[in-house]
Amino acid sequence: MVFLDNAATTKIALDVKKSMDICEDFFYANASSVHSAGLEAMKIIEKSRSEIAQALSCSPEEIFFTSGGTESNNWVIKSLIEMKSDKKKILTSKIEHPSILEPLKWLEKNFNYEIVYVNVLESGVIDLLDFKNKLDESFCLCTLMHVNNEIGSIQPIDEIGKFCKLKNVLFHTDACQSFMKLPINLTQMPIDFISINSHKIHGPKGIGALFISSKVKISPFLHGGGQEMGLRSTTMNTAGIVGFGKATELLKNFKHTKKISELSFWLKSELLNKFNDCVINNDGKEVLPNILNIRFNNILGKDLFWRLNKEGIFVSTSSACSSNKNTPSRVLHEIGLSEKQNLESIRVSISVDTEKDDLKIFLNALEKIIKNIGE
Ligand SMILES: Cc1ncc(COP(=O)(O)O)c(C=O)c1O
């Protein structure tokens, strides 16, 4: 199979799998137990916490393990209710992941919050002028993603964070698509909350984290036995956490980004050379190269998707969450694509596991499919 859907998830790295096997075999004690076996399990959990904290240049005490990006995003948004602040305005964009947009809608409906959407430019980057015009001291939270999952556009989270600080507004960023792909240095970036997950970086599924700045307070997400400093109770997922830490460690020198950039550049030029009708939807400067969003004139993305699928080549029609719904992508709509262009689009996403031969197989299949469709 040729897996070109790495923005949806990635294959677990062999060394990650090995580190998890060791956990299951030897460190299976409940990490909250005070006997030596429990303490040993807690020790390796704390090593992973430190590894992840180091990657973000923050303190290990600011990393809280969760079940993934969705939970981290929900936690930040839902914790606003207990803050009981008089400020009830939240700034976001319409290109956020559903795990941001849906809880926001829920807050709006059930707790009378006002959700304000910042304009997004054709590049997929927010309009900073509009952002600065809209955000003021009456907002309690600004939540804007670091990298978009459908088009890879990169938001200037440094500048956004600094402006939020100026206006005394909490700033959260969903960094599930950028963690270990772009450096995030929290000693220099004023950010209050960051959501990350493991399965986008060749770690296991079902584990993520929320960075909570020591300068801010947040209410517990799960009440119970008091794990994670009383903020998220449940027996610790030792193997998942260790796998997440290992996956982070394996990518810490960022060498993989060079391979991904080169492959992406090559694929883009091959697509444009081979296919007159191919358009790159996300051809801007502020885009992470692992995601290519492309379309072919007069060919439905879903037709390409299913024909590639038949050849054992896996891409996505938009985001993984909505690709089975066969509706136009909300994100592509926001950056100005017509409904026709939107439905013609597919997302091809690569990772450090992708080889040039995979891309050659994809290009050959694409050539064959497009020729067949045209006949
Ligand atoms: C930008 C973004 N945020 C959040 C999520 C949800 O993460 P998880 O699958 O770990 O719940 C994803 C994954 O699809 C994502 O791409």
Question: Which of 23, 140, 142, 321 does the annotation list as catalytic?
Answer: 321
pLDDT by residue (tens digit) across 162-207? 999 999 999 999 999 999 999 999 999 999 999 999 999 999 999 9
Q: Which residue, judged by its Cα, is nearest atom 4 of ligand 1?
A: 69
89 has which bridge partners?
114, 139
Q: Which H or E run contains 178?
A: none
Higher pLDDT, 82 or 197: 197
pLDDT by residue (tens digit) across 94-147? 999 999 999 999 999 999 999 999 999 999 999 999 999 999 999 999 999 999
Structure tokens at 95: 């290109």
Question: Span 75-92, mean pLDDT?
Answer: 93
3-state DSSP of 280-307: ECCCCCCECCCEEEEEECCCCHHHHHHH
Give distance in angstroms: CA of 86 to centre of ligand 1: 30
The answer to whether 180 and 251 have CB atoms below 8 angstroms apart is yes
Question: Span 363-367, mean pLDDT?
Answer: 97
Residue 149 CA, closest ligand 1 atom number: 16
117 has which bridge partners?
92
- What are the residue ranges of helices labelled H in 112-182? 128-134, 157-166
pLDDT at 326 over 90: no
3-state class (DSSP) for residue 109: helix
pLDDT at 84 over 80: no
pLDDT at 375: 74
DSSP structural state of residue 120: B
Taking the model in full, what pTM does it have?
0.97
Residue 70 CA, closest ligand 1 atom number: 11
3-state class (DSSP) for residue 35: coil
Give the pocket of ligand 1 (CB within 6 Å).
68-70, 97, 99, 145, 149, 174, 176-177, 197, 208
Query: How much helix, strand and coil, in percent to the nearest 5, is found in the chain?
Result: 40, 15, 40
pLDDT at 316 over 70: yes
pLDDT at 156: 98
The span from the CA of 169 to the CA of 114, in Å, is 15
Residue 324 — pLDDT band, cuts 50, 70, 90? low
Please enumerate in sequence order all residues whose Cβ is within 8 A of that of 60, keeping only pairs 6 or more positions apart, or say none: 46, 49, 50, 53
321 is catalytic: yes
Calculate the average pLDDT of the chain: 96
Residue 96 CA, closest ligand 1 atom number: 1
Question: Span 8-32, mean pLDDT?
Answer: 98
User: Percent of the chain scored above 90 by pLDDT?
Assistant: 95
pLDDT at 257 over 70: yes
pLDDT by residue (tens digit) across 203-241? 999 999 999 999 999 999 999 999 999 999 999 999 999
The answer to whether 73 and 97 have CB atoms below 8 angstroms apart is yes
The span from the CA of 104 to the CA of 126, in Å, is 19
